[in-house]
């Protein structure tokens, strides 16, 4: 499959190549793991991914083991490759959680895909014709029309699945990993927490709004804003709450803006 990232960068997931027409580097070939990682990010565009889920997708499902350090190394390699093509900040690290990929991505149907699909359709059409031709002769015109119709319908279904299967997956994945809380201007605010079961407490919503106003988040442009809050202990054993706000405008080639604040328990 081929993708166009931010209207310029061409990515081919079949051979792991990045083509950078507007940069001094013409083409970059990714390693197998880096290629699979980028493909995973693209299929979960604008979706926060947990480290454990990424590790399981890239290594665990194959019976392999890997650590967070391995993942960090491949994320760094992928970031450097994207930066060489002039696209820094597409991958944002979410503290204590994982990563999020933010970009404008367009799926491009390739000739290879069309040829493979046509060949598959021909085999299926032939099998169908043999089954229906056991005791009667099929008119050549009807056969041709049926074959073309079947091919057209099948190709159309493949394209629809390519365009929307990841969105369907993302919808359910999104429900279990981030919660849309409210909108303010053109900003959509999300709470990143895989432990909540539905309703978000009013004090959490209040904290999100206070943090957004304090950091003067610009909601005049379409953006996603992610909020993470964790209760932690510092090196002296004191309790504090770490709050992070990630501001990610749509179609922005710059990194998401990160804001952090630590609030100590005075009790």
pLDDT of residue 140: 53
- Dihedral angle sign, alpha carbons of residues 121, 122, 126, 132: positive
Per-residue model confidence (pLDDT) at position 131:
40
pLDDT at 129: 38
The CATH class that applies to domain 185-264 reads alpha beta
pLDDT tens digits for range 11-22: 999 999 999 876
pLDDT tens sequence across 119-161? 455 445 434 434 444 444 445 544 455 555 665 666 666 555 5
Q: Please name which of 3, 8, 226 lies closest in space to residue 100, comparing C-alpha atoms.
A: 226
Residue extents of the structural domains in the chain: 2-107, 109-174, 185-264
For 2-107, CATH number out of 3.30.565.10, 3.30.428.10, 3.30.360.10, 1.10.10.10 equals 1.10.10.10
Distance CA 148, CA 142 (A): 10
User: How far is the first Cα of the chain from the last one, in angstroms, to the nearest whole number?
Assistant: 56
* Low-confidence residues in the chain, pLDDT < 70: 22-25, 109-178, 193-199, 234-235, 252-255, 265-267
- DSSP for 30-93, written as a single string: --HHHHHHHHHHHHTTT-EEEHHHHHHHHTGGGT----HHHHHHHHHHHHHHHHHTT--SSEEE
């Amino acid at each position: 499959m081929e993708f166009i990232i931010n209207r310029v960068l061409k990515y081919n997931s079949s051979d792991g190549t990045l083509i950078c027409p507007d940069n001094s580097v013409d083409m970059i070939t990714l390693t197998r793991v880096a290629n699979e990682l980028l493909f995973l990010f693209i299929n979960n565009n604008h979706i926060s991914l947990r480290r454990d889920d990424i590790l399981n997708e890239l290594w665990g499902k194959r019976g392999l083991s890997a650590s967070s350090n391995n993942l960090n190394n491949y994320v760094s390699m992928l970031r450097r490759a994207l930066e060489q093509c002039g696209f820094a900040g597409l991958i944002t690290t979410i503290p204590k959680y994982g990563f999020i990929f933010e970009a404008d991505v367009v799926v491009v149907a390739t000739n290879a895909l069309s040829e493979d699909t046509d060949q598959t359709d021909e085999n299926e059409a032939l099998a169908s014709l043999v089954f229906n031709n056991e005791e009667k002769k099929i008119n050549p015109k009807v056969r041709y029309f049926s074959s073309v119709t079947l091919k057209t319908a099948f190709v159309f279904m493949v394209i629809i699945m390519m365009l929307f299967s990841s969105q369907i997956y993302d919808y359910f994945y999104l429900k279990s990993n981030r919660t849309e809380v409210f909108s303010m201007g053109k900003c959509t605010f999300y709470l990143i927490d895989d432990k909540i079961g539905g309703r978000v407490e009013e004090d959490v919503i209040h904290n999100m709004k206070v943090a957004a106003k304090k950091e003067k988040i610009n909601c005049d442009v379409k953006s996603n804003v992610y909020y993470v809050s964790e209760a932690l202990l510092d090196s002296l054993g004191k309790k504090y709450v770490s709050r992070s706000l990630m501001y990610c405008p749509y179609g922005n080639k710059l990194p998401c803006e990160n804001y952090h604040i630590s609030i100590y328990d005075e009790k």
